[in-house]
Amino acid sequence: MKKKVLSVLSLSIAFWMNAQEKDSLNKNKIEEVVITGQYTQQSINKSIYKVEVIDAQQIKNMAATNVADVLNQSLNIQITPDTRSGNSTANMMGLDGNYVKVLIDNIPVVGDTGLGSNIDLTKLSLNNVERIEVVKGSMGVEYGNGAVAGVINIITKKSNTKKVSVRASLQEETVRDNYDLKKKGNGRHIQNLNVDYNIDNNWFANISFNHNQFMGYEGESKGYKYFERDNKRGFEWNPKDQYDASALIRYSKNKTSFYYKLSYLYEKFNFYNPEVNRIPLNDGMGGALYESIDREYNTKRWAHQFNIQTSIGSIRYMGDFSYQNQDRKYQDYNYDIPNRSVRISREDTSYYKTDVIYSRGMFSNFLNNKTFDFQLGYELDYTNGYAALIAGDFFGEAVKRKIFTYSNFLSAEWNISDRFSVRPGARLSVSENFDNQFNYSLSARYKTSENSNLRAVAGTANRFPTYDELYTYFVNINHDVQGNPDLNPEKGFSAGAFWDQNFSANDWKIGYSVNALYLDVRDRIEMVLVKDPSTYKYMNMDKYRNMLFSANIDFKKDQLALSLRGSVSGTSVSLNSLNHASPTDYQYLVQAGASANYKLKNTKTGFALYYKYTGPGRNYVLESEGTGFRLGKTDDFHMMDFIVSQPFWKDHMELSVGVKNIFDVTTINTTATAGTAHNGATDRLNLYYGRSYFARLIYQF
C-alpha cells in the first residue's frame, strides 16, 4: 500500500534541460561553470584544474537512479559493489573508495567510517542534482585527508527561473528477468518529487523527495523462502529500500548569497543468511523447525549544511558549515522459513555511528587585482566515531574514536599574461591523533589559442588510517590478525598534463583532449604476514604507482552529439610478505567508451546510446608463503545502455523506455583476488545483476 501511495504522489525528475546553463548560486545564464578547486564559480574553460563535468542533461539521458549508475559510465572509475553489505564505492585510478573524496556542494559526505571517503554512492540520489564534477589526482591542498586519487563533487540545484516549478517522475525497472509491482515482488521502483519556489527576487526555496526500492536479485540462489540445507538460500543481490528528502532556503542580494539545506536519508538493507538450521521438535512425528538467523541493517543520515558567499570590502569570503551524523544499526532475528515468521528478534545495535562537525572557509581577492590574487583558507573536522564489534574484528569492546583535525591552506593565482597563469598552494593539517601533515600543489594553465588550453598540475594528499587498520584484534586458535595504532598516514603525489582544443568545421562543433596523469602513493597500508603460520598485522609497507593516458573527442551538429573516449592505465604495486616481495613491473588496463545522442527535429524524440569497454586486468597476488606471488587476471567486459525518450503534452510530460546492461554482464572470472587473513580468495567478481528494462514517466509544471 505504501508503494502505491508513493507512486501516486510522485511523478518527477530532479533536473531539466536548462539546468546546466545556470550557476548553482546565480540565476543569470552563463557558460558552463565549475566550483571544484576554484576560488569562486569559474568558467570551465578558465579553470586551472582539469574538471570533468557530467551535467543534468547527460544524467537525465542516462535514466540513472543514483550517483553510482552515472559514474559507471566514466572511464577510469569503476564502481565496486559489496553485495553482502549493500555498499558500492568508487575505484579511481586503481585505488578503492578510501582514496576518493566525495563531496556534496563542496562539503564532504559523512559515511560509515568517517568524512568524505569510502562513501556508498548508491545512497546518493540524483534528485535535484545540477551536475557532477570529477577531478583526478591528489587534491590535498584544497580538500585535505583522503583526496589522494581524486575528488567527486556533486552540485545540487539552487535556483529556477520560474515562480513555481514542480518536477516529478515514476520509474519502473526489471532486475534482469524479474519484475513484479506487488508487495514482496521483484524489480526496482523509483519515485521522486521536486518543488522549486521563488518567494521573491531574493528568496528561493526547494523541497525534494526520492524513494528507490530494489527488491533484490536471487541469481543462482533460491530466495528467502527456500529452506534446503545446501547454502543456496537468499539473494546474490540483497533487497534495499531507500528514502531521502531535503529542504533548502536560499537568499541572494547584491554581493551576498547564503543557503541552508537539511537532508535526511533512511535505508533498510536485508541480508538473508544462506545457512539453514534444522531444529528437531521432538514431537514423536519427526517434525522439525527450519530457520535462519537473518539480519536487517537500518541506516539514518542527517545533514545540515550552511553556505555563505559575501564580500567584506573587496575581500571575498565563502564559508561552508555542516553538522552531519550517520547511524547504521543492525538487528538479528531468527526467521522461521516454512511459516515465514520471525521467531526471535534481538535488540538493534549500532554497527557504525559517526557524528561530524565540519567547517571550511576561504578568503580571496585581498588585492582586488586581476593579475594577482591569493586565497587564505581554513578547514576543521571534528569526528566522533563508533564501530561495533560486528563491524570489524575488534577485541573486547566496540571502538570509539574522536578525531579533531584543523588545517590552514594558502594559494596564490598569478595571471602572468592573458595566456599564462600559475597557482602554487600549501596546506598544513594538525591532528591530535597523527603527526602534522603538509601538502602542496602547483598548477598552471597556458592558453595556446582562443579555443585551446594546456594545463599542468602537481600536488600531494594524505590518507589517515581507518578503524580496521588501527584497531583490529582478531585472535583465536586459528587466527592472529592485528591492527596497528602506530600507523603513519599514507602519502600520495600526482602530476599531470592536460590539453584540450575546440573548433568548428562545416557546422560541426568539435572538441578533443589528451591527458596524462601519474600517481604515486607511499607508506601504503597493507595487512602483512609477520609470523608463520597465521599472524598478520597492518603495516606501512607498500608502494603504489599508476600512470594514466587518456583521450576523448566530441562532435556536435544540430540535434546530434557523439563522444569517443579511450584510456590506458598502468599500475605498479610493491607488495611484501614474510618471505617474498612482488615484482614491480607495470600491468596495463585498456578502457574505451562512446556515447551518442540524437533528437528528431519534428517529434523531439530522443535517442541515447552509452557504451563502455573494460579490458582484462592483471595484478599480483600472494599465492602462499611457499610459492610467493603470482600474476592474476580478471576478464574483460562490455557495458551498453540504450534509451528512447518522447515528450508530449506541450513538453510537460515525457516518457522514456530503454534497456540497461545490454550485454547482460553479471559476474566475471578472476584469478586476481587475494584471500585475507581469515577469508579465502574468490574466483568470481560480482559486478552487476544483468540486463534490465525500464520505463520512466516525467511530469514538469
**pLDDT for 680:** 55
Domain that holds residue 168: 33-700
Residue 230 near residue 218 (C-beta atoms within 8 A): no
CA dihedral 471, 477, 478, 484 (to 10 degrees): 20
CA 59 from chain centre, in angstroms, equals: 15
pLDDT at residue 326, as a whole number: 92
Distance, in Å, from the CA atom of 60 to the CA atom of 55, rounded to the nearest integer, reads 9
User: Considering the domain boundaries, does residue 16 fall inside one?
Assistant: no
> CA-to-CA distance for 692 and 86, rounded, in angstroms?
19
208-222, 390-404, 527-541, 558-572: least confidently modelled range: 390-404
Instruction: Give mean pLDDT, residues 332-337.
Output: 95
- Range in 210-214, 425-429, 433-437, 669-673 with the lowest mean pLDDT: 669-673
Task: Calculate mean pLDDT across residues 295-313.
Answer: 94
The confidence score (pLDDT) of residue 428 equals 96
Looking at residue 11, its pLDDT comes to 30
Q: Which residues contact 135 (CB under 8 A, 6 or more apart)?
A: 36, 37, 49, 50, 51, 52, 150, 151, 153
- E strand or H helix that includes residue 488: none
638, pLDDT greater than 90? yes
| pLDDT tens for each residue of 420-453 | 999 999 999 998 888 999 999 999 999 999 899 9
The answer to whether the CB of 150 falls within 8 A of the CB of 52 is no
Q: What is the pLDDT averaged over residues 357-377? A: 90
Beta strands in 313-393 (DSSP E): 315-336, 341-345, 349-364, 372-387
Percent of the chain whose predicted confidence (pLDDT) is above 70: 92
| Helix (H) / strand (E) containing 223 | none
Please state whether the peptide bond connecting residue 533 to the residue before it is cis, i.e. omega within 30 degrees of 0.
Answer: yes
Model confidence at 17, in pLDDT bands (50, 70, 90)? very low
Look up residue 71 and give its three cell numbers. 559514474
Please report the pLDDT score of residue 384 as a whole number. Answer: 86
SS3 441: strand
Q: How many residues does the chain have?
A: 701
- R_g of the chain computed on alpha carbons: 26
Average of per-residue pLDDT values in the chain: 87
DSSP state of 389: G
pLDDT tier, 174 (very low <50, low <70, confident <90, very high otherwise): very high
pLDDT at 518 over 90: yes
C-alpha dist (Å) from residue 196 to 61, 138, 161, 162: 22, 36, 10, 8
CB atoms within 10 A of CB 44: 17
For the chain, the distance separating the N- and C-terminal CA atoms, rounded to the nearest angstrom, is 27
**535-557/480-482 β-pairing:** parallel
Q: Is there a domain that residue 25 lies in?
A: no
Residue 678, pLDDT above cutoff 70: no
Mapping DSSP to helix (H, G, I), strand (E, B) and coil, where does residue 233 land?
coil
Res. 7: pLDDT tops 50: no
Q: Per-residue pLDDT tens for 121-151?
A: 999 999 889 999 999 999 999 999 999 999 9
Cβ(571)–Cβ(532) under 8 Å? no
| Among 213-217, 344-348, 369-373, 569-573, the least confident range | 369-373
What residues does 656 pair with on adjacent strands? 645, 696
Report the pLDDT value the prediction gives residue 225, as an integer from 0 to 100. 93
Question: SS3 for 90?
Answer: strand
**What pLDDT shows up at residue 30?**
45
Q: From residue 358, give the alpha-carbon distance in Å to each of 114, 289, 403.
A: 12, 51, 12
544 confidence band (pLDDT: 50, 70, 90): very high
Which pLDDT value is given to residue 681? Answer: 59
Q: 3-state DSSP call for residue 191?
A: strand
Look at residue 440 and give its three-state secondary structure. strand
Strands (E), 532-605: 535-557, 560-574, 587-599
Beta bridge partners of 633: 618
pLDDT at 383: 87
DSSP string covering 594-635: EEEEEE-TTT--EEEEEEEEE--EEEEEEEETTTEEEEEEE-
Domain membership of residue 429 (yes or no) is: yes
Q: State the Cα angle at 419 between 413 and 425, rounded to 5°.
A: 20
Comparing 193 with 28, the larger pLDDT belongs to 193
Residue 220 backbone phi and psi in degrees, to 5 = -85, -5
**Given this model, what pLDDT does residue 674 score?**
65
Q: Closest Cα to residue 360, out of 376, 384, 371, 340?
A: 376
- Would residue 625 count as lying in a domain? yes
Determine phi and psi for 219, rounding to 5 degrees. Answer: 60, -125
What pLDDT score does 476 carry?
A: 67
Number of domains in the chain: 1
- Residue 169 in any domain: the answer is yes
Report whether 343 contacts 381 (CB < 8 A): no
How far from the centroid of its chain's Cα atoms is residue 522's Cα?
Answer: 24
pLDDT digits 0-9 by tens, 474-484:
776 666 788 88
Q: In the prediction, which pLDDT does 154 show?
A: 95
Residue 208 predicted with pLDDT over 90: yes
The cell numbers describing 254, all together, are 547584491
- pLDDT, average across residues 168-183: 88
Domain membership flag for residue 9: no
Ramachandran category for residue 335: left, alpha or beta (phi over 0 → left; psi -120 to 50 → alpha): beta
Q: Where residue 559 sits, what CATH number does that domain have?
A: 2.40.170.20
User: By mean pLDDT, which of 86-95, 128-137, 251-260, 479-488 is the weakest?
Assistant: 479-488
DSSP secondary structure letters along 2-27: HHHHHHHH--B-S--TTGGGB-TT--
Distance (Å, rounded) from C-alpha 353 to C-alpha 483? 20
582-597 burial by CB neighbour count: b if 16+ within 10 A, else e? beeeebebebbbbbbb
- Does 19 score more than 70 pLDDT? no
| Alpha-carbon span 362 to 40, nearest angstrom | 10
Q: Is the pLDDT of residue 288 over 60?
A: yes
Place of cell 558567499: 309
Cβ(273)–Cβ(294) below 8 Å: yes
Is beta strand 110-111 parallel, antiparallel or unpaired with respect to 114-115? antiparallel
pLDDT band at 25 (very low <50, low <70, confident <90, very high): very low
For residue 599, being part of any structural domain is answered with: yes
In this prediction, residue 394 has a pLDDT band, given cuts at 50, 70 and 90, of low
52 within 8 A of 336, measured Cβ to Cβ: no
637: β partners = 614
Q: Which residues contact 509 (CB under 8 A, 6 or more apart)?
A: 502, 555, 556, 557
- DSSP, collapsed to helix, strand or coil, labels residue 56 as helix
**Per-residue pLDDT averaged across 640-658, rounded?**
95
| Residue whose grid cell is 562545416 | 506
pLDDT of residue 675: 58
- Beta strand 653-660 with 420-431 is unpaired
Give the separation between CA 612 and CA 286, rounded to whole angstroms.
56
